Structure 1
Amino acid sequence: MTDQALSRDHFRKRRSLSERFSEMDEKIKNPSFRKATGKANEVNYWVFDYAPEQEMEVRSHIQWLQNRNRKGFDDYQLVVFDLYDLIIDELKTKGFLEKTEKLEERGGIHRVVKAVQRTLRITDKDNYLVQYITDHTPDNSIVLLCGIGKCYPLLEAPEVFNKVLYNMPQKFASTPIILFYPGTYTEQELVVFNEVVEDSYYRAFRIAR
C-alpha cells in the first residue's frame, strides 16, 4: 500500500473532527495532563493531526480555546504560538525577508531553507524559537503550536521536535506541548499534507484518535 493510501485509510478510521476536538478538550482540562505522561516519564509532547482541508476549522477551534481560557475559569494558562508568524517576524526584524527571493532565484528553495535555519540558529541550543517560547510561556501552561503547514519546507515537524523542543529547558519536561499537524501522524511516521513523508518520529502521542 502506498503512503497516500495509508493516509487515506488512516483518516477513514477517524471519528468526526468535532468528536476529536471534544476528546482533546477533555484531556486538556484534566490536571494529570500537565505532568509527564509518556512512556518511562518521557517528555509531554502531543500531536493533533487533521486533514489539510480542515485547516480553517482547526484555527477556529484554537481561537475558541484561547477565548475560553482568557475568561479565567481554568487552572492553567493556554499559550498559542504560530510558528510561521514567529519565523516571519524575526526575519523581518533582521532585514532578511527581502533577501530570500534573490536567494531562491540563485540557489532554489533549499538554499533559502538553509539560510533561514542558519539565521534563526535552529540547530543550536539557543535557537530563536526555543528562546521565544521559553520567554513567553508562564508556569503551569499548556502550549499549542500551530502554523507548521505554512512553514513547510522552511521548518518541518520533525525539526520542531528534534531541534526546537529537544532544546527546551529541563523545566519544560512536564509542560504539555501540542503540535497541530495538517496531515497524518501514526506515532511512527509524519506525512505532511498527506502527501510528503517526513522523517520518522515516535516520542509524541496522538492526543485524539
Structure 2
Amino acid sequence: MSELDKRLQMVYEKIKSKEIISKKGLGNEIPYYIFDYDPHDELKIRDFVKLIMKNFSYIGSEINPVEIDLYEVFLEILKEKNIFDVIEEYEKNMGKDKMFRALESVSKPENFINIITKQVEGHNLILITGVGKVWPFMRAHIILNNLKNHIDKTATILFFPGTFSGTSVKLFSIFEDKNYYRGFKIS
C-alpha cells in the first residue's frame, strides 16, 4: 500500500467513525481540514472523493457529504453573469489579457461563497475539490477565510494539490502562498 493510500485510508476511517463531523479534538476551532497531495495523484483523489460520496450519500446515513468543485462553482458564476457563452468569442476579439481581466472581475469571493452556501445546506461534511483547476482566479485561502463567516460549524476537507506546512501552502508544490491557512492537516 502506497503512502498516499495509507493517508486516504486514515481519512476514510476518520469520516466513517464520525470523528470529523463530531469535531473531536478541535475545541472551539473551525472544523477545516486540509489534505495535501502530489498533483500527479489528482485522479486518485477524484476517485477517493467519489468513493466518499458513494459510500455515505444514502438516506439514513449520519454522514451527509457534499462535493464542492471550485471549478464547477466558477463555471456556474460565469453562467449566472452571462459570460460563459461568450468567453471564446471575447478572447478572439479582445485578446487573452482582456479576457483574463474579465474573468477576474467575476471571481469575487462573495460570488463563490453565495453558490457554495446554497450547495452545502443540509450537509454535515463538505469536500472541497478543484483548487488547482480554478487557480489563479480563486485561491484556497480566500475560500476558507470567507467561508468561515458563513459556514463555521460544518466539517470541511479541502483537497489541496501541493503541500501544506500547517500554516501555509504551496500550490502544485511550486507557487508559495504566504497567507495563513486556518485549517488542520488531516493526515
Determine if the TM-score, normalized by the shorter chain, exceeds 0.5.
yes
Give the match's secondary structure for 2:128.
Answer: strand
User: 2 CA distance for matches of 1:140 and 1:116?
Assistant: 27
Correspondence 1:167 to 2:149: yes
- Report the equivalent of 2:180: 201
1:121-177 C-alpha deviation (Å, 9 max, x unpaired)? 42xxxx232222222224451000100110010111111122x31331xxx322111
Partner residue of 1:76 out of 39, 63, 76: 63
Q: Return the letter of the residue paired with 1:154.
A: F
* Identical pairs, percent: 27
Q: How many residues align?
A: 182
User: 1 CA distance for matches of 2:63 and 2:97?
Assistant: 48
Correspondence 1:105 to 2:92: no
Correspondence 1:56 to 2:46: no
Q: Say whether the 8 Å CA contact 2:141–2:181 is kept in structure 1.
A: no
Superposition pairs of residues 31-180 of structure 1, within 5 angstroms: 31-36=18-23, 41-72=28-59, 74-97=61-84, 98-99=86-87, 101=91, 105-107=96-98, 109=100, 111-112=101-102, 114-117=104-107, 121-122=108-109, 127-139=110-122, 141-162=124-145, 164-168=146-150, 172-180=151-159
- Report the equivalent of 1:26: 13
Aligned-residue Cα RMSD (Å) equals: 2.3
1:169-202 C-alpha deviation (Å, 9 max, x unpaired)? xxx3221111110000011221000111013324
Mark the runs of 5 or more structure 1 residues left unpaired by the alignment: 1-14
**CA, structure 1 residues 131+107, in 2 after alignment: closer, same or farther (shift >3 Å)?**
closer
- 1:23 deviates by 0.7
**CA, structure 1 residues 19+116, in 2 after alignment: closer, same or farther (shift >3 Å)?**
same
Q: Return the letter of the residue paired with 1:116.
A: V
- Point out 4+ residue stretches in structure 1 off by more than 6 angstroms: none
